Structure 1
Amino acid sequence: MAFSFEDNRKDAIVLLEAVAAELNTEDMNQAGRIFRAVLHAVRDRLPVTDAVHFASQLPIIWKGIYFDHYDPDKVPVQILDRQEWVDYIRNKNAFAANNDFQQDDEIIGAFRAVFRALHNCMPEGQLQQVKEALNEEIQELLEV
C-alpha cells in the first residue's frame, strides 16, 4: 500500500473539523490547541498499553501530535478529583490557556467536545475503555 501524505492530511483535518464543530468554533488553531491539550491529558492518564492502543485509532498526523513529549516512565498520572483534572488539562495548553480556557466550565466543555468528536471516528469500545481508565469523577464530567 502506498503512503499518501495528502490522504493522511485530509484524515487529520476531518477530525480537527469535527472537534471544531463540537467546540462551536471556526478557529482551527484554537480547536487544534484544545484538541492537543485534551489528547495529552488523556494520554498521560492512561497506562502505556492503553495509551498506545488508543493512539492506534487516530489519524497518523494526530498520532504524532499525541505522542509529542510523551514520557512512558511518568504515566499514568494520578488525578484524584475533578479540579485536578481541569487544572491538568489547562496546564497542557499552558501557552494559550488564558485565551482558550478562561473558565473551568470551558475546559469541561472542551473535554466533552473532544470525546463527542472522537465518538464519531473511533470504535465505541475503544472510547469506553479510555473512559473506564479515568477515575469516576473524571468520567462523570463526560455525562451531560
Structure 2
Amino acid sequence: MTTGSRHFDHAVQQGHLWLGDLEAELGDVDQEHTYALLRAVLHVLRDRLPPAEAVQFGGQLPNLIRGIYYEGWHFQSHPTRLHSMIEFVEAVMAAIAPTKLRHPRRAVEAALTVIGRHVSRGEIKDVQSCLPEDIRANWSPAPASGRTTD
C-alpha cells in the first residue's frame, strides 16, 4: 500500500523497518506490544536526556519515529532522574502497563539495541554519555550497519 507521496511512503517504510527489527529481537511479542515498547523506551530515554541532547537525538530519527519520540513531550530544563537500568526498565513498564512482556529488561535492552542499529554510532555515544553508568553498561552498541534515518 502506498500513499502516493514518496516522502510519506518512505516514513512508513522506516517505521515498519524499526518495528520489524524490534519484533525480530523480541521473538515472541505482537506488533501492538512492540510498538508500545518502542514508544515507551523512546519517551523514557528522551525524558532522561538533557534538553539539548534530546533535541539533537530526535533530529537523528526518521520522520515517523521522530513523531513518536516527540509525542507528548513537555520541555523540562532538567532530565528525569533514573540512576539505574532497573529504574529505566520500571519507567518503561509503567508507561505500557498492563503488558504481556515476560522479560521486561531483555525487551528494553532489545529496544535500545534497535535504536542503536538505526542511529549513527556517534549520536548513540553522545546519548550514552548523558546516562548513568549502569544504563550505559546495559546498552550494547549495535554493529555498524549504516544509518536508516532520512
1:114 is aligned, of 93, 104, 111, to 111
Structure-2 change in CA distance of 1:26 and 1:87 (3 Å): closer
1:5 is aligned, of 4, 8, 15, to 8
| Contact 1:25 1:31 (C-alpha < 8 Å) held by counterparts | no
TM-score by length of 2: 0.80
Identity %: 26
Cross-structure match for 2:148: none
| Contact 1:80 1:135 (C-alpha < 8 Å) held by counterparts | yes
3-state SS of 2:44 partner: helix
Matched, 1:25 2:28: yes
Deviation at 1:60, TM superposition (A): 0.8
Gaps of 5+ in 2: 142-150
Partner AA of 1:63 in structure 2 = R
Partner AA of 1:12 in structure 2 = G
Gaps of 5+ in 1: none
| Contact 1:131 1:139 (C-alpha < 8 Å) held by counterparts | yes
Measured on the aligned residues, the alpha-carbon RMSD in Å equals 2.1
TM-score by length of 1: 0.83
| Contact 1:108 1:141 (C-alpha < 8 Å) held by counterparts | no
Cross-structure match for 1:128: 125
Partner AA of 2:32 in structure 1 = N
Partner AA of 1:23 in structure 2 = L
Cross-structure match for 2:136: 139
